[in-house]
Structure 1
Amino acid sequence: MRKALILALVLLLAGCSGGDTDKTPPPTPSPDLSGRPAAVATNAGPFESGPVVAPARGALVGAWIKPDELTHVGRLAAVGSLESDLGRKLSIVNTYRRFEQMVGTPSDREFLAQGATLMVSWATGDNRSILDGEHDDLIRKQAKAIRKIHKPVLLRMRWEMDRPNLRATMWSAGDYIAAWKYVRNIFKQEHADNASWVWCPTAEGFIRGDAPGFYPGDDQVDWTCVDVYAGELFQPIGQLMGPFLEFAAKHPKPIVIGEFGVAKAWGSAGRAAWLRDAERTFKANPQIKAIAYFESDPEGNPITKQFQLTGDRQAFKAFHALATDPYFNP
């Protein structure tokens, strides 16, 4: 009887433990973040990178920094604050645009005037409506806007196109490739030849195996790219993007890590260790010519999808060490 009561009490306590699962990550074995990078796969070049020329050695450092307000002043303040904390200018400023939002805003021009390269993450729409010609005027307008800034731009046309939640507008890999070629041809007609075309799926898409099917071809792509996060899975960055690196090594293109981040869920020490391993991995893969951190805590995201480093002294120190390393200041 006594054993039955104890068992019932244990089951009751287990059932009541509850808690907010958004704040606590699932248990994951601690990875080895101190040794050799988990993946090395490199094309020795030479690389065909388009107007944005890849450095001969080392890699450019950039970021997306979510501003307090999506205004000219807000964008400048966000980037300026991170640059001040790092003690250096960013080589790349990532910026997101909806289909109808044009490049060439006052803040865009200010970043360019300061010597940064814009990486424009452009959320183009439904691929079949693009192919039906429904957005030709909008695409031409964007091509002209990019041409008029007279500076090389990294253009991520519909980044993360392999995400399952985008399938309704991507339709298929074939539709995406056809839309890519259609849009790029309009840019050619408008002489917007200052854009380097960046193809950027997710690391998960390479792990699943479906991302490579979206590749438009070496004649269409200037930079290969991947977005990779230690979010709900805490694994070394090399392990997370290993399948991508193997794919990219087969193509004579420089690599940009379009977004990378390590979630707050993994604690300051874990985040710092992950970033130090990321630095080693980037250096061990010299085909990687640019990296851009995702310095943001998107509103409404659980702690496994919050990546801002500012305010986390230990993690930021690791990123600061990366950003000020001569290798990342070519």
Structure 2
Amino acid sequence: MPAALVTALAALAAAAGCSSGAGAAPKITTTARAGVAPTPPAKGAYFGAWVPPEDARKRAPSGSPSASPSDDPSDGASGSPSATGHPSAKPTGKDVDKPGMASVVGFENELGRQLDIVQSYRGWKAPFPADLDTSVLGGNRYLLLTWAGGDTRDIVKGTYDDLIRTRARAIKATGKPVFLRWSRDMDKASTRERVHTAADYIAAWKHLRAIFTQERVDNVAWVWCPSARGFGSGNAGSYYPGDDEVDWICADAQPGGDYDYRDLSEAVKLFLQWARDRPKPIMIAEFGVPKAYAGRRAEWLRAASRTLQDPQVKAVVYFNSDEQREDARDDRRAFSVTGDKRAVSALRELATTPYFNPRNLPVTPGG
């Protein structure tokens, strides 16, 4: 890591004071190759989002929370099973006509800036890059590729080596920096059947990385991402493969459907405490304010902005979707802000805060 970057990060950590009460961040290291794979900004944090594609509105609800295709290890689908929250006005601007980009550009229109990171979900057996992936990689946005996990024991046995090798070569062939978030939320009980144990998960993670290394894939940053809740109710940290195996540490951090109201600071508190002992940049890959918070959504987002301005947090990704709701009336798991003027305005404030715009991308007036 360049000495200048280390110095800048250390200075920022010493100067920053954030509402979450975090102390100075550790010196940040990464195995990712600078200039080829995504590396953390010297100051601030990238801002990104998951914005479901337009055709997702035509699909039937999944009937269960967190049920994107990436949760099914045998699923070959892409996108999300149900989604709402697209801008009512036809989006305009650069890249709007590229495959899969209409919803992304529409969301950017609402925020008044381009995203740094666009998230994409792919099933374990789904080929990539898909249309959205190719469109993102063709511009100056980073792709966060969330790839589902297969059965960890089968992976270690070599059952899927050909599939893994094919995916590794496909990512290498793009020639563009890619965040790879494999088998997210591995600590949840819903994944136990294919994850088995923490030891099995770690062995599978190392097996994947070994194949990517054999294929000389150096444009990937490996993102390890359990649930934030797993640091309180479970043992998420036991799934950590080690500092030499991980580039970014991450958590999915919605406030939880069993709370009437809960600040993001509470949702990420134990995860951030755990992360202080790891010299890694932090990504919050799925965070969102529930529609159930109604008039307090803007308040929640402004508090979240303060919490996330943490010297170790280097990327945040908003989950602008309602697909996790259990039914049409489940507003505790609905996170799209589109159509809620006050929430959109507050998210725009967050996204255009200099801390979350480290590349100094243009900001349009409005909001």
What TM-score comes out, normalization by structure 1 length?
Answer: 0.85
Contact 1:231 / 1:262 at 8 angstroms: preserved in 2? no
Distance 1:262 1:208, change over 3 A: same
Amino acid at match of 1:318: A
Q: Give the total of aligned pairs.
A: 293
User: Which residue of structure 2 aligns with residue 204 of structure 1?
Assistant: 229
Gaps of 5+ in 2: 1-17, 57-78, 80-96, 359-367
Question: Could you tell me how far 1:62 is from its partner in structure 2?
Answer: 0.2
Question: Could you tell me how far 1:69 is from its partner in structure 2?
Answer: 1.3
Q: Deviations over 1:224-268 (max 9, x none)?
A: 00110123222111111111101111011100101101110111x
- Distance in 2, matches of 1:128 and 1:211, equals 19
Distance 1:121 1:42, change over 3 A: farther
Does the alignment pair 1:249 with 2:231?
A: no
- Distance in 2, matches of 1:181 and 1:125, equals 14
Amino acid at match of 1:43: A
Contact 1:103 / 1:142 at 8 angstroms: preserved in 2? yes
Q: Deviations over 1:90-142 (max 9, x none)?
A: 00001000011223223322212220000011002110111111111110010
206-215 or 101-110: which moved more? 101-110
Contact 1:146 / 1:192 at 8 angstroms: preserved in 2? yes
Instruction: Select the residue among 41, 45, 62 that pairs with 1:59.
Output: 45
The alignment partner of 1:119 has SS state of: strand
- Distance in 2, matches of 1:42 and 1:265, equals 34
Does the alignment pair 1:272 with 2:298?
A: yes
Distance 1:249 1:49, change over 3 A: farther
User: Which residue of structure 2 aligns with residue 7 of structure 1?
Assistant: none
Does the alignment pair 1:45 with 2:27?
A: yes
- Distance in 1, matches of 2:156 and 2:354, equals 45
Distance 1:235 1:300, change over 3 A: closer
The alignment partner of 1:266 has SS state of: helix
Q: Deviations over 1:166-199 (max 9, x none)?
A: 1111000000000000011011111112111000
Q: Deviations over 1:268-297 (max 9, x none)?
A: x211111101100111x1100000000001
Does the alignment pair 1:130 with 2:158?
A: no
- Distance in 1, matches of 2:279 and 2:21, equals 19
Does the alignment pair 1:304 with 2:332?
A: yes
- Distance in 1, matches of 2:194 and 2:51, equals 27
Contact 1:38 / 1:236 at 8 angstroms: preserved in 2? no
- Distance in 2, matches of 1:57 and 1:47, equals 15
Contact 1:99 / 1:125 at 8 angstroms: preserved in 2? yes
Distance 1:314 1:87, change over 3 A: same
Does the alignment pair 1:155 with 2:165?
A: no
What TM-score comes out, normalization by structure 2 length?
Answer: 0.77
Question: Could you tell me how far 1:223 is from its partner in structure 2?
Answer: 0.3
Distance 1:142 1:149, change over 3 A: same
Work out the percentage of aligned pairs sharing the same amino acid.
43
Larger radius of gyration: 1
User: Which residue of structure 2 aligns with residue 17 of structure 1?
Assistant: none
Q: Deviations over 1:195-233 (max 9, x none)?
A: 110000001101124100000000000000011012322
- Distance in 1, matches of 2:209 and 2:21, equals 33
Amino acid at match of 2:156: L
Amino acid at match of 2:288: G
- Distance in 1, matches of 2:273 and 2:354, equals 27
- Distance in 2, matches of 1:154 and 1:49, equals 13
The alignment partner of 1:107 has SS state of: helix
Distance 1:57 1:38, change over 3 A: closer
Instruction: Select the residue among 214, 236, 239 that pairs with 2:239.
Output: 214
- Distance in 2, matches of 1:205 and 1:142, equals 29
Alignment of 1:172-183 (within 5 A): 172-183=197-208
Does the alignment pair 1:263 with 2:290?
A: yes
The alignment partner of 1:53 has SS state of: coil
Cα RMSD (Å)? 1.7
Amino acid at match of 1:142: R
Does the alignment pair 1:113 with 2:125?
A: no
- Distance in 1, matches of 2:127 and 2:314, equals 27
The alignment partner of 2:249 has SS state of: strand
Amino acid at match of 1:311: G
